[in-house]
């Protein structure tokens, strides 16, 4: 579609939304205030560069597919990220895992990682105009082979993982200081059991003690923020997960920590959107890990589905954008990995644009006036307002391809860059 046609379509859309009391220009400005934290691990199937090929066995994770063009070095991963970011409109951040440090071929165990191993990422992020977020990597390691880390029976193993998480928090402070933007440090562990355990309480007691030891060291909120991520189950932990939603919710409330809600970490019939307004009064903020579960937490690429729309709408309606971190978390090696980043990020941005374009004032007025039918019909009418035209103008103004035209750029990148990779 030509620029002129996009601009004409937008003017028509602007009038249509305006008839419902919605200012599309304000919505576009609002979208510019929502950075999406893009996860590095989609790019190389959660492999990292600690050593060749992380072993995900016992971690609760599984990456499927073997699409060609996987990056083999940090330089290639950064090139892929740069290409992806060039096709994503609006503000972005980069979310790193601890196994993505630059270790120079040296054996650096997890408890010894430090800012010096991530200085290259800081320099690169600064050149790209990005903030950085961070995650400890409590999987794919001999000391996590039995599926337990911070809950482990062995105090020495627990101490190792406590030291790892504390090291990662120091790296997060380094990121925040160097880039002038608070780094989100998000903690997820795989600890759990394939069969029903004889004792559910003791591992959680150990987890609480480990977390207390980790958070005994406080860091400035202007540099880094802590969040805790729960999970319903994982591969190898189908019957019991120590870090359940209830456990981390209680801990986050008691210790004033942010809570991470991953869309794939709950039962398929649960509404993550409904949890948002219930949790926010009691925690400093929430983190959304946008993913798409298909029958289970299979981490499919995010699409503009009902669940994603409901979550975005709830954040906007609740007025919680300033207390919400929007991040991606999925891994699909069955399709072009760079395209997977772009597709998911753009879906997330479109969901929040749709939420910002809702006629919230009219909906609230109908609700407060007891006009239930009006509320129902207005919500239905909003579904067919021309979101696509507003999205296209957003892309056009920010210099990225509108609609699906970005696919041609991914095809070109695959032919010219990714196809040359082997081994």
Residue among 149, 39, 141 nearest 97 (CA)? 39
Model pLDDT, residue 234? 85
User: Do residues 20 and 377 lie in contact, with contact meaning Cβ atoms separated by under 8 Å?
Assistant: no
Mean pLDDT for 6-28 is: 97
The single residue of 178, 262, 307, 392 carrying the catalytic annotation is 262
107 is catalytic: no
Residue among 13, 23, 36, 7 nearest 357 (CA)? 23
Mean pLDDT of the chain: 95
Residue among 246, 209, 207, 211 nearest 227 (CA)? 211
The single residue of 39, 152, 275, 289 carrying the catalytic annotation is 289
By the 10 Å C-beta count (0-12 exposed, 13-18 middle, 19+ buried), 127 is classed as exposed
Domains of the chain: 35-357 (3.20.20.150)
pLDDT in tens, 154-193: 999 999 999 999 999 999 999 999 999 999 999 999 999 9
To which residue do tokens 């977020």 refer? Answer: 133
374 is catalytic: no
188 is catalytic: yes
Strand, coil or helix: 220:
coil
297 is catalytic: yes
Q: How many angstroms separate the CA atoms of 226 and 287, rounded?
A: 10
Q: Helix and strand tally (H, E) in the chain?
A: 14, 12
The single residue of 178, 229, 313, 414 carrying the catalytic annotation is 229
Give the distance from CA 58 to its chain's centroid. Answer: 22
The single residue of 39, 70, 231, 245 carrying the catalytic annotation is 231
Q: How many angstroms separate the CA atoms of 263 and 273, rounded?
A: 9
User: Do residues 339 and 407 lie in contact, with contact meaning Cβ atoms separated by under 8 Å?
Assistant: yes
Total residue count of the chain as it appears in this document: 423
Residue among 168, 169, 150 nearest 160 (CA)? 150
80 is catalytic: no
Model pLDDT, residue 57? 52
R_g of the chain, CA atoms, integer Å: 22
The single residue of 329, 332, 362, 414 carrying the catalytic annotation is 329
44 is catalytic: no
pLDDT in tens, 286-305: 999 999 999 888 899 999 99
Q: Is the pTM higher than 0.75?
A: yes
User: Do residues 91 and 143 lie in contact, with contact meaning Cβ atoms separated by under 8 Å?
Assistant: no
Residue among 13, 12, 18 nearest 362 (CA)? 18
The single residue of 188, 341, 391, 406 carrying the catalytic annotation is 188
Strand, coil or helix: 97:
strand
DSSP 152-190: -SSHHHHHHHHHHHHHHHHHHHHHHHHHTSPEEEEE---
**DSSP letter at 98?**
G
Residue among 385, 84, 60, 357 nearest 236 (CA)? 60
The single residue of 265, 313, 362, 406 carrying the catalytic annotation is 265
70 is catalytic: no
Under the banding of pLDDT at 50, 70 and 90, the label for residue 56 is low
Considering only residues 53 and 388, tell me which one the structure prediction assigns the higher pLDDT.
Answer: 388
pLDDT in tens, 120-140: 999 999 999 999 999 999 999
Neighbours of 91 (CB within 10 A): 17
Under the banding of pLDDT at 50, 70 and 90, the label for residue 60 is low
pLDDT in tens, 318-366: 999 999 999 999 999 999 999 999 999 999 999 999 999 999 989 999 9
329 is catalytic: yes
The single residue of 299, 313, 362, 392 carrying the catalytic annotation is 299
Which residues lie across from 240 on neighbouring strands? 193
229 is catalytic: yes
Element (H, E) at 310: helix 306-317
User: Do residues 334 and 405 lie in contact, with contact meaning Cβ atoms separated by under 8 Å?
Assistant: no
Q: How many angstroms separate the CA atoms of 108 and 247, rounded?
A: 32
Percentage of the chain with pLDDT > 90?
91
Percentage of the chain with pLDDT > 70?
97
Residues 6+ apart with CB under 8 A from 151: 158, 189, 191, 203, 204, 206, 207, 210, 242
């Amino acid at each position: 579609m030509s620029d002129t046609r996009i601009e004409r379509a937008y003017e028509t859309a602007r009038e249509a939304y305006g008839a419902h009391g919605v200012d599309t220009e304000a919505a576009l400005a609002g979208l510019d205030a929502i950075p999406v934290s893009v996860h590095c691990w989609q790019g190389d199937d959660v492999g990292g560069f600690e050593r060749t090929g992380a072993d995900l066995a016992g971690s609760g994770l599984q990456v499927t597919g073997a699409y060609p063009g996987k990056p083999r070095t940090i330089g290639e991963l950064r090139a892929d990220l740069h290409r992806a970011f060039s096709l994503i409109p609006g503000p972005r951040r980069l979310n790193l895992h601890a196994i993505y440090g630059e270790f120079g071929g040296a054996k650096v165990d997890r408890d010894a990682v430090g800012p010096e191993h991530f200085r290259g990422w800081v320099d690169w992020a600064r050149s790209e105009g990005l903030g950085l977020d961070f995650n400890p990597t409590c999987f794919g390691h001999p000391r996590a082979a039995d599926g337990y880390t911070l809950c482990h029976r062995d105090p020495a193993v627990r101490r190792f993982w406590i030291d790892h998480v504390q090291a990662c928090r120091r790296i997060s402070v380094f990121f925040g200081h160097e880039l002038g933007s608070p780094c989100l440090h998000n903690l997820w562990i795989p600890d759990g059991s394939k069969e029903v355990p004889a004792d559910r309480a003791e591992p959680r007691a150990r987890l609480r003690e480990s977390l207390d030891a980790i958070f005994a060291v406080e860091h400035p909120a202007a540099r880094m923020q802590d969040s805790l991520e729960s999970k319903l189950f994982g591969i190898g932990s189908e019957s019991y997960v120590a870090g359940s939603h209830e456990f981390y919710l209680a801990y986050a409330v008691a210790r004033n920590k942010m809570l991470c809600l991953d869309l794939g970490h709950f039962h398929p019939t649960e509404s993550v959107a409904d949890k948002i307004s219930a949790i926010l009064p009691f925690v400093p903020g929430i983190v959304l890990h946008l993913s798409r579960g298909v029958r289970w937490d299979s981490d499919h690429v995010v699409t503009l589905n009902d669940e994603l729309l409901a979550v975005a709408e709830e954040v906007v309606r609740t007025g919680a954008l300033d207390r919400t971190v929007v991040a991606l978390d999925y891994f699909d090696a069955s399709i072009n990995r760079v395209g997977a980043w772009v597709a998911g990020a753009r879906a997330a941005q479109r969901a929040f644009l749709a939420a910002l374009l809702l006629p919230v004032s009219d909906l609230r007025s109908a609700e407060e006036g007891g006009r239930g039918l009006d509320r129902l019909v207005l919500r239905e009418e909003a579904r067919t307002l021309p979101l696509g035209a507003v999205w296209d103008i957003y892309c056009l103004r920010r210099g990225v391809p509108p609609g699906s035209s970005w696919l041609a750029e991914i095809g070109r990148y695959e032919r010219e860059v990714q196809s040359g990779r082997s081994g």
